[in-house]
Structure 1
Amino acid sequence: MPGTFITDQTALVLFSGGQDSGTCLAWALDRFAHVETLGFDYGQRHLVELSCRAAVRDGLIRLHPEWRARLGDDHTLSIDALGQLSETALTRDAEIMLGENGLPNTFVPGRNLLFLTFAAALAVRRGARHLVGGMCETDYSGYPDCRDDTIKALQVALNLGMDQRFVLHTPLMWRDKAQTWQLADSLGGAPLVELLRRETHSCYLGDRSLLHAWGYGCGHCPACDLRRQGWECYEAAAA
């Protein structure tokens, strides 16, 4: 649901171009006076999500004219060393499967820790106190860097290590994918839901050849399965 507008605060949103980060961007624009976005080229196996970012940003300010004045600069950082270090299905052409540690091999070790650390460093320069990310402990694949305890611990570490008062926001932490669609609906109604359905991308394989009821994707990777299941539950609840 729409929240309390904070008139004098700046937020920096980790914005990949996917459904979750797109919803978080709308959430931030509904709350903060100035919002900037940050994407990462970390050596991932495709850059489809990053290529969707401009269309989502443009669509958001068309849907809500008052958001136009709030949406500030977009930043992209290259941290391809992460991709060089990681032997994962998101940084290599590898089949998606469970690893020996019980985690799917789509888990990129250190990714969210690095993302938030770089975001905090940029936030100092940009005068942003609020960092917003789409991490979620409800619909996730067991990634330890998506857990609420991890984010809380990192907030403490960043504030101590940078002598700041950052607030790390994770609006989706306790929402499943159906509730993420519902959040978008509450923020911008059917037009925002349709924008996110058509313009965001979450498929691990980067497939945008077919538009499904729930959006573009290969239709069978774990990310597509979650997005499809969430959409079906969202539609059933709205019927």
Structure 2
Amino acid sequence: MSQPSDEGALVLFSGGQDSTTCLAWALERFARVETVGFNYGQRHRIELDQRQHLRRGLQALNPLWAERLGDDHTIALDGLGQISETALTRDEAIRIEASGLPNTFVPGRNIIFLTFAAALAYRRGLRRIVGGMCETDYSGYPDCRDDAIKALQVALNIGMEKRFVLETPLMWIDKAQTWALAERLGGQALVDLIVEESHTCYLGERGASHAWGHGCGTCPACQLRAEGHGRFVAGRRQG
């Protein structure tokens, strides 16, 4: 996109595959893009360490992206980890609870993230807030659903007297299509950057390097990423 919107955007940037793809998506569309990450005591905190490698990699891939990429912010939300007691915030086996949700669900996480992001966007003069929530390939988390994001946008705009737009470019695509979107945005170089530098594994293991990236290979996040990458590669061969 040669003529980006002159609006600024704030990207929820965890250091994972989805948020890296969302950051590239925003860099194509907006003249100024800032990033925010959250440290909530997550077991896979290593994702936060990967964020700067990814930001530098994106800048190196495209001079326009380098121009548009602005400040990075990290917000400590220790209290969220302390009260949630989930498999993402303490050392316990991943399983499905009686509620039908996996015990990796951190109640209120996306609601809290987007609320803090909106408060930061308010101060930074940014209207667009971009997140990697997805209702297609996801773990059943209710705060990833489109209805939840739309309802929160209304609440934030009423409560802050603003007209924020919560952008969710991955909402209706699956993991294979997310890989394909990254390829469209930045070619094989962006796909390689995501494979080599992003982190999605719930257990926080960089582990061996697989075709789809680093991770334990067995947790739900690794399995979803690996399966999506396999479908993406197969689709390219057929095409």
| Fold match (TM-score > 0.5) | yes
Q: 1:124 offset after TM fit, Å?
A: 0.5
> Helix, strand or coil: the match of 2:19?
helix
* In 2, Cα distance between equivalents of 1:132 and 1:238: 28
Q: 1:153 offset after TM fit, Å?
A: 0.3
Q: Structure 2: where are the runs of 5+ without partners?
A: none
Q: 1:105 offset after TM fit, Å?
A: 0.2
Q: TM-score, normalised by structure 2?
A: 0.98
* In 1, Cα distance between equivalents of 2:131 and 2:69: 16
Q: 1:35 offset after TM fit, Å?
A: 0.1
Where do 1:171-186 residues align within 5 Å?
Answer: 171-186=169-184
Q: Structure 1: where are the runs of 5+ without partners?
A: none
Q: 1:4 offset after TM fit, Å?
A: 7.5
> Helix, strand or coil: the match of 1:69?
helix
What is the match of residue 147 of structure 1?
A: 145
* In 1, Cα distance between equivalents of 2:99 and 2:195: 33
Q: RMSD of the alignment, in Å? A: 0.9
* In 1, Cα distance between equivalents of 2:204 and 2:3: 35
What is the match of residue 79 of structure 1?
A: 77
What is the match of residue 36 of structure 1?
A: 34
Q: Structure 1 runs of 4+ off > 4 angstroms?
A: none
Q: 1:6 offset after TM fit, Å?
A: 3.3
Where do 1:13-24 residues align within 5 Å?
Answer: 13-24=11-22
What is the match of residue 237 of structure 1?
A: 235
Report the identity percentage: 67
Q: 1:43 offset after TM fit, Å?
A: 1.3
* In 1, Cα distance between equivalents of 2:17 and 2:43: 19
Where do 1:57-206 residues align within 5 Å?
Answer: 57-206=55-204
| Equivalent residue in structure 2 for 1:11, among 9, 12, 18 | 9
Amino acid in structure 2 at the alignment position of 1:15: F
> Helix, strand or coil: the match of 1:30?
helix
Q: Deviations over 1:110-169 (max 9, x none)?
A: 000000000000001100000000000000010000000000000000000000000000
What is the match of residue 215 of structure 1?
A: 213
| Cα pair 2:182 2:190 within 8 Å, conserved | yes
Amino acid in structure 1 at the alignment position of 2:201: C
Q: Deviations over 1:55-113 (max 9, x none)?
A: 00000010001111100000000011000101100011010000111000000000000
* In 2, Cα distance between equivalents of 1:168 and 1:31: 14
| Equivalent residue in structure 2 for 1:227, among 206, 212, 225 | 225
* In 2, Cα distance between equivalents of 1:115 and 1:17: 15
Q: 1:5 offset after TM fit, Å?
A: 4.1
> Helix, strand or coil: the match of 2:64?
helix
Q: TM-score, normalised by structure 1?
A: 0.98
* In 1, Cα distance between equivalents of 2:2 and 2:104: 36
